[in-house]
Amino acid sequence: MSRIPDSIYYAEYISLVEICLMHPLDVVKTRFQIQRGKTDPTGYKSLGDCFRTIFQREGLLGFYKGIFPPILAETPKRAVKFFTFEQYKKVLGYASLPPGLAFAVAGLGSGLTEAVVVNPFEVVKVTLQTNRNAFTEQPSSFVQARQIIKTSGLGFQGLNKGLTATLGRHGVFNMVYFGFYFNVKNILPVNKDSNLEFLRKFGIGLVSGTIASTINIPFDVAKSRIQGPQPVPGEIKYRTCFKTMATTSVLVHMGGAVMLLIYEYVYAWLQDTADHK
């Protein structure tokens, strides 16, 4: 079994699990990120208040606003992420970089490549997530995308706005994410007990995702502010990544642990299946 089909195959498993588990938190995270501080009259007072308000005003489906763009994008996104990581890692290996550094640099490269693919989907997703109407009253993903293109085009003010922030978010995240995970996994001894080995990998994945998300927050907030509604309609306050980061932080989720864990086990299963053919 060749590496390219493998990458696409296990990316699908990773995508579905992560989307189902994490999207409600992603909606809440985005709502917090676009708030204009504690004085914002439309803002949420706490995490509990945000969940309660969305449920009361928008219903259970309010937590799944903007879910179609990630579903549509996740398979190619993950395929690009893991396939390019493997390819960058090979190239860096030929360049005789130390393995520890090669993992981090390969992660950076895969993140930058992934960002270019995913950014238009992110623009549509954030626009839908920040819509506070009932789920049934908001436009579909395709209608929303068409509206963005019609009013602002395909460029950096339209379907590709916030690209610099997305490049920073995915590049920094993947650099820390892959670099930390594979370096620490190679240092900590493997457990012969399968349950303890599962916990070892899950723990490393959880820490990797948490550290990467924490370091990554400024880029993520900037991306949401640029791609979401502006504080004053018709006035663009958040235009560039670093200016937005300077004028402007929030939830760290478990998606990283889930994704790396599934990546490890599905990839190992695929390799084992290929070896027995």
CATH number assigned to the domain comprising residue 149: 1.50.40.10
Per-residue model confidence as pLDDT tens digits over 137-189: 888 999 999 999 999 999 988 999 999 999 999 999 999 999 998 889 888 88
What pLDDT digit, counting tens, does each position of 216-275 carry?
888 888 888 888 887 766 667 776 676 666 654 443 445 555 566 666 666 666 666 666
Q: What is the pLDDT of residue 233?
A: 65
- Classify residue 218: in a domain, yes or no: yes
Say what the pTM is.
0.74
Q: Would residue 276 count as lying in a domain? A: no
DSSP string, 149-174: HHHH-SSTTTTTTTHHHHHHHHHHHH
| Model pLDDT for residues 76-127, shown as the tens digit of each residue | 887 888 889 989 988 887 677 788 888 999 999 999 999 999 999 999 999 9
Q: How far apart are CA 235 and CA 42, in angstroms?
A: 18
Looking up tokens 């449920």 gives 55
Mean pLDDT of 25-37: 84
**Is residue 235 helix, strand or coil?**
strand
Return the residue matching tokens 């969305």: 54
In a domain, 275, yes or no: no
Structure tokens at 89: 């890692």
Whether 247 maps to a domain, the answer reads yes
If one counts the domains in the chain, the total is 1
Domain that holds residue 35: 3-270
Q: Which DSSP helix (H) or strand (E) runs through 10? A: helix 3-33
Task: Let me know if residue 82 belongs to a domain.
Answer: yes
pLDDT reported for residue 80: 87
Band of the pLDDT at 27, cuts 50, 70, 90? very high
Q: Residues 133, 25, 29, 38: is their CA dihedral positive or negative?
A: positive
Are 143 and 127 in contact by the 8 Å Cβ rule? The answer is no
Residue 160 lies in a domain: yes
> Do residues 251 and 32 lie in contact, with contact meaning Cβ atoms separated by under 8 Å?
yes
- Is 85 within a domain? yes
Check whether 16 has a pLDDT greater than 80: no
